[in-house]
Amino acid sequence: MNLPAFLNAVKEQAKVSRTLDDASLRDAALELSYEAKQNDKQTELFVIKAFAVVQAAAERHLQMSHYPVQLQGGRAMCRGHIAEMRTGEGKTLTATLPLFVHALKGRGVLLATANDYLAKRDAQWMMPVYEALGLSTGVIQSEMSRPQRRNAYSCDITYGTMKEFGFDFLRDHSSQRQMKQDQLYFGSHPSGAAQPPGDQLPVHRKPHFLLIDEADSILIDDARTPLIISSAEDDMTQDQQQMLYQWSAESVPNFEEDIEYWYDKEQKRVDLTPEGTARVREVAKPKILDGVGLPEMYDFVERAIQVDRDYKCNRDYVVRDGEIVIVDEATGRISEGRRWSRGIHQAIEAKENVTITMDTNTSAKITVQSFVSRYPLIAGMTGTAASAAREFKKIYHAPVSVIPPNKPSQKTELPVTFRPTEEKKWQAVVDEIKEIHATQRPLLVGTRSIAKSEILSGLLHQAGVSHAVLNARQIEREADIIAQAGEPGRVTVATNMAGRGTDIKIDDRVKSLGGLHVICTEMHDSARIDLQLFGRCGRQGDPGSFRQYVSAEDQLLDSAFGRPTAKRYRKIGKIRSDRWWIQLFRKAQKKLENQHYRARKILMYNEKQLAKSHIEMGLDPILDVYD
């Protein structure tokens, strides 16, 4: 059935569903559930009936009606597609359609979103629709106990984060192997109980359907991030570990690239040269390290060099209450509970002179890619998917469907602005903010890191421009800041997070002034992240505008080409035009996108090969891992 015919059929069926009282509407949903359990494949007619009852329930209990483009997005996700829907097009309501359709089989469906707050908000918001149709709703939150999690997963529809879903899977896997070992040695559970204790029972149900909100962020930006359960490292004492990390951090600042170490920019790997290893041998060492071998010292120094050059405070992490807390690169949000593996986290602790925690070995590990691949059907939604369509199709077997906006876009893209130095770029940004601010139009200004957002904040204070700052330090105020960001005269300085998952709404006065103006102060490693920021303006056909700034000193050039090559480009560029520079930045961005894509593809291949070899050796590919 073609799309116009499908939409018209839903419209006509919804007229029938609206005439039903609450009990009859629930009975209609129960009939659909019975039909779904009898047939493996869902016909187009079945989906039409399901969409119609969801639409009727949403109108009755939320006073919200699905637009035709939301029905189109829901249809695509029912088929296992990634739906590209622009910011403000109502993805939260759209998700009710595929979630309801696939929950009717009674096997449980999951919706993974960006953080605990959004999971809880969206679940509570949409719960009246599901309850009206006889379905239960659960929410996974980070502070929950195992029994509470089991109750949430037993619901028909469960909201949560990919991190929580993945860690629960690892814990289930670990508990199941432990129970098998207990039965092998004891004949039954050692407690003597007929059933194992509640904290060892699995919480997940058999994989069925997984819907992913902000799919590009989770499936691409976080794809290589391993979810890890760790156990204590036994090879060194804690005192030796702490001293070795501390000694390495103090030794590396003066190591010279290409002389004492080589740096692989694609793999982000450091290798000491012969001159570098000689220097390690010559540097004075505390007596407590007498028993530590040179290979271990080389490893620690290489790790310290990598941390010194690649991991920056207030960009990749923050120091909070004497602890290192990771900042998610794609969203700018704090990543609670996450730690870098392979000693990176401890090396950063040493660099920042905070308490160095005991190193760990990985006892169980899975990546987002591997976890998602366990589900027979996945779907997703995001504002930026088309540019990554090849990767979604190749790795996740999920085609991308581009859904048109409900109303034509009125946003204006202004030319990219180049400045030769970062200082001049900041001045140009401040000048534009002052000019727009004088008209009372609201502004959202995106920065690449916490440090950059605070630099700009300082400049705006000097210029006398009142503003709010939204970064990982103000995470608890995110909803309040975004709720006010569209008001007349508001200036909001943000990191990548920019309130993703929440809408910046504007009133008629702001619309008459030209809508929200967005400034991106630096190109990111992926054009998708820039587009996410630009997508904050012009929602639902509102007016709006955006502009991007770059400077010859921006980090992107070093990341893409390496410091020596970037240095040559900067020298050549002194006599080149602004257009040449902007083309160079686009080339750098594309180069990094391709590098990251290759790395994710290689990771997936290597994981499959490792799992295959583990199975052939009788090992568990999840639990028998080596860091």
The total of structural domains in the chain comes to 3
* pLDDT at position 88: 83
User: Do 220 and 135 share a domain, yes or no?
Assistant: yes
Alpha carbon separation from 243 to 285, 287, 324, 346 (Å, rounded)? 10, 10, 18, 11
* pLDDT at position 445: 95
Q: For residue 517, tell me if it sits in a domain.
A: yes
User: Do 264 and 339 share a domain, yes or no?
Assistant: yes
User: Do 288 and 393 share a domain, yes or no?
Assistant: no
Q: Are the C-beta atoms of 300 and 245 separated by less than 8 Å?
A: yes
Token couple for 474? 């103000």
Q: For residue 557, tell me if it sits in a domain.
A: no
User: Do 111 and 209 share a domain, yes or no?
Assistant: yes
User: Do 162 and 86 share a domain, yes or no?
Assistant: yes
Q: Phi, psi (5° rounding) for residue 334?
A: -65, 135
Question: What is the SS3 assignment for 41?
Answer: coil
Cα 302 from Cα 295, distance rounded (Å) = 11
Question: What is the SS3 assignment for 412?
Answer: strand
Domain with 190, as residue range(s), is 67-226+369-402
**Residue at which a domain ends, from 402, 426, 458:** 402
Q: For residue 563, tell me if it sits in a domain.
A: no
**Residue at which a domain ends, from 322, 338, 358:** 358
Cα 138 from Cα 120, distance rounded (Å) = 9
User: Do 421 and 280 share a domain, yes or no?
Assistant: no
Look up the CATH number of the domain holding residue 157.
3.40.50.300
Q: For residue 296, tell me if it sits in a domain.
A: yes
* pLDDT at position 626: 47
Q: For residue 626, tell me if it sits in a domain.
A: no
User: Do 300 and 216 share a domain, yes or no?
Assistant: no
User: Do 82 and 213 share a domain, yes or no?
Assistant: yes
Q: For residue 566, tell me if it sits in a domain.
A: no
User: Do 316 and 393 share a domain, yes or no?
Assistant: no
Q: For residue 31, tell me if it sits in a domain.
A: no
Q: For residue 430, what are the β-bridge partners?
A: none
Q: Which residues are CB-neighbours of 164 under 8 A, at least 6 positions away?
A: 116, 140, 141, 142
For tokens 């190749």, what's the residue? 394
Q: For residue 90, tell me if it sits in a domain.
A: yes
Q: Are the C-beta atoms of 314 and 321 separated by less than 8 Å?
A: no
**Residue at which a domain ends, from 492, 518, 551:** 551
Q: In the chain, what are the helix, strand and coil shares in percent, each to the nearest 5?
A: 50, 15, 35
User: Do 332 and 425 share a domain, yes or no?
Assistant: no
User: Do 517 and 421 share a domain, yes or no?
Assistant: yes
User: Do 376 and 326 share a domain, yes or no?
Assistant: no
Cα 203 from Cα 196, distance rounded (Å) = 13
* pLDDT at position 186: 44
Q: Are the C-beta atoms of 506 and 486 separated by less than 8 Å?
A: yes
The mean pLDDT values, 10 residues at a time, for the chain of 627 residues are: 95 96 96 92 93 97 96 97 91 97 96 88 96 97 90 97 90 70 48 51 92 91 74 64 89 83 79 88 87 84 90 88 82 73 88 81 75 94 90 92 92 95 97 97 92 93 94 69 89 75 85 96 90 87 95 93 92 93 96 87 77 71 57
Kindly report the pTM of this predicted structure.
0.80
* pLDDT at position 194: 45
Rg (CA), the chain: 27
Look up the CATH number of the domain holding residue 340.
3.90.1440.10
